[in-house]
Every structure is written in structure tokens, then in C-alpha cells.
Amino acid sequence: MDKTLLEKFKDTLHTNGMKCTPARLLIFKEVYSSSEHFDADEIYFRMRREKKAVSRATVYRTLDLLVENGFVSRVNVGASQVHFENTLAQEHHEHLVCTQCGKIIEFSDKVIEKQQNLICEEHDFFPTKHNLIIFGLCDKCRKRNN
Amino acid sequence: MDKTLLEKFKDTLHTNGMKCTPARLLIFKEVYSSSEHFDADEIYFRMRREKKAVSRATVYRTLDLLVENGFVSRVNVGASQVHFENTLAQEHHEHLVCTQCGKIIEFSDKVIEKQQNLICEEHDFFPTKHNLIIFGLCDKCRKRNN
DNA sequence: ACTGTAATTGAAACTCATTCTCATTTAGAA
DNA sequence: TTCTAAATGAGAATGAGTTTCAATTACAGT
């Protein structure tokens, strides 16, 4: 994990008058230990397993804090829990979600982005965020089915 | 409300060996009484107000039944509850959601649809459903803000 | 029309993800 | 080192939705 990122996080805490606590640092590191999607409970249980337990409430609170400060973003993949991902390196992307095996494929597409902007203009709408999920069957599941 | 639709619903119940109960018919009519989005509790409370009370459980169960049989579809507008809409006349569409006033604008766009299919082909993915939400500010809220 | 029975219903208990409460602990400014 | 507001953990509370189960009811077969 990038050293400067942790420093940036500490700066953010500092400049916002928030305390730099062990719990927050541990959660931050956990969140940046992989580039996969995760939900709050995954972080919670991973940390328990690694004997770095923090309370569930603190996990939720810290994830909110990370989202608000741009270190993490919420991703909607149609699940019942909120999913997150760290914002390291990855630009905005959309998801293909296999409804059979749960596989998630990420993609991004300039044509769609552009077209969205056109549509927003047409409706006098100022876009801040968007979310596109395509549900269906991945190649393996489709083959498996027949 | 289209008479034939109610008949179609009754047929569906019949051919699937399900009973044609007052609760189901009332919910069906309520769902088709407007073309707006709604969530389960809205239906539940509207029906109480109109002295056509059915239990919450029955509302949820019947909405599932209607979704499974294509009379209603689930719509995702980024809310914490599941939203629904009846499938009368309206083709598939996407949503612009104003994060300030909650206004929802519907749109549909051939270019985006086409591009989505291209992307799916590229990934050997067979799409069955998709969901695009653009969050932002509607014209009124944008003007109000400055 | 009457019966029998499997489907349906309502009420309340339950689940699951998340948020809140509040007593205790702690980071970090003075 | 001291003080205090911020943060934490444990568990209660919440909200949306689902399940359970005893009581009711639609309707196929007589």
C-alpha cells in the first residue's frame, strides 16, 4: 500500500479536526489491502480473523468517513448490502453482474458517458454521479446451462 | 383501467393454480390506479386509507407475484426500499434522480441500449436486464442553489 | 348447494443490514 | 500531565422485508 495515501488520510483527519485513532488506521489499511469490492461486514470479519477486531459500529462509521473524504466509493451491484471499493487508481466504471454465479465484470465506456451527458443537457439536469448495472449470464454460466 | 388486463391477471392466477382472492384483486387494481412509481408501503397505506385494508405481508407477497408474472416491474431509483411500477404501456426506461428534491425524470435512449449490447458481446455476456440511474440536480434545484 | 382441502390470509415474530445510544475510553491540545 | 471533546464498543433500536402458523376461504369434485 502506498505510503503517501495513508499520510493523506492522516492529513484529512487532522485538517477536519478528527482524531487519528488505531481503529481508523486499521480499517483504512484493510480497505486498501485489496482492490476488490467489499461490504462492511466483510471488513468487520476479516479484521476479527486477523485479530485486529474493531466494533461493527466503528467499521460502518469509518466507511462513511472514508466515502465522504473520497478514499472509498459506494458501488451498487444490486446486492442487499451496500458495497464499497477503494478509489485507488480506478476510474469510474460500470458493472456486468452474472445473476447465476455472482461474477462481476467491470467496464467503462466513453460512448455511454457522452450520451449520458447529452441526455442530461436535454433535460436541464446537472449530473453528479451515475450507476449502470447490466444483469445477465456470464459466458461460463450460459455454457453450463445447456 | 383496462378491463382485459384484470382478466389477464385472473387468467394468470387460474392457469398457475392460484386462487383469485379479493386481496389480490384489490392490490392489482391499486397498482394499476396510477402510473407512478410506488413502494410496498405506499400501496399498503393507500389501501388502508381507502378502507380496502389488506395486511402488509399480503401486499409484499402479491407484489412479488405480480412481478413474477410481468404485471409489475421493480425499479431501482437508489432508494432504500424497493420501488415498483406497473408495466402498462411503458417500455423500458432509465432515471434521472434529483438528489435535492427527489424528482425523478424518466428517459430512454437507443444509443445507450445499443452500446450496452456491444459491450456485452465483447465480454461474452448475455444481458437480461439493466439499470441506469443518473443522480444530480434538476434545473429548479440548480437555479434555487444560487 | 355442500364438502374437503390446499391455498391464502393476517398478526406477530423474525431476519438482516445498518444506525443509534450511552457509558467508557482515549487522542491530542494546552 | 491534565482536561475535554471525540471516538469507541456493546448492545438496543430501526426499517424494510420475510417467515410462521393458526384461522379462513376459494373452488374442484361431488
Report pLDDT for B126: 97
CB B110 within 8 A of CB A107: no
Distances (CA, A) of A25 to A7, A42, A67, A84, B107: 10, 17, 15, 17, 43
Q: What confidence score (pLDDT) does residue B3 get? A: 58
When pLDDT is cut at 50, 70 and 90, the band that residue B28 belongs to is very high
Q: Which residue in A has a C-alpha nearest to residue B139's C-alpha?
A: A124
The one-character DSSP state at B61 is H
3-state DSSP helix/strand/coil percent for chain A, to nearest 5?
45, 20, 35
List of domains in chain B: 3-86 (1.10.10.10), 94-144 (3.30.1490.190)
Write out chain A residues lying below 8 Å of B111, CB-based: 111, 115
Question: Which string of DSSP letters, residue by residue, matches B69-121?
Answer: TTSEEEE--S-SS-EEEE-SS----EEEEETTT--EEEE--HHHHHHHHHHHH
> Model confidence over A68-98: pLDDT tens digits?
999 999 999 989 999 999 998 677 899 999 9
pLDDT of the residue at B2: 59
What are B37-51's pLDDT values in tens digits?
999 999 999 999 999
Cα–Cα distance between B92 and B94 in angstroms, integer? 7
In contact, B43 and B31? CB cutoff 8 Å? yes
Angstrom distance, A77 CA to C26 C1': 38
Cβ separation A112–B107 shorter than 8 A: no
Nucleotide nearest to B20 (CA to C1'): D26
Taking 80 as the threshold, does the pLDDT of residue B90 lie above it? no
Chain C positions within 7 A of any protein Cβ atom are 7-12, 16-21, 26-29
Instruction: Give me the pLDDT at residue B46, please.
Output: 96
- pLDDT (tens digit, 9 = 90+) per residue, A45-73? 999 999 999 999 999 999 999 999 999 99
For A73, the enclosing helix (H) or strand (E) is: strand A72-75
Kindly give, in sequence order, each residue whose CB lies less than 8 Å from that of residue A102, ignoring residues fewer than 6 positions away. Answer: none
pLDDT value for A65: 97
Please tell me whether any atom of strand D lies within 7 Å of the Cβ of A81: no
Query: Residue with C-alpha cell 476479527?
Result: A48
Q: Comparing C-alpha atoms, which of B109, B12, B6, B54 is closest to residue A117?
A: B109
Residue B116 has pLDDT above 90, yes or no: yes
Rounded CA–C1' distance between A14 and D17, in angstroms: 41
Statement: residue A3 has pLDDT above 60: no
- Residue A20 CA to C28 C1' — how many Å? 9
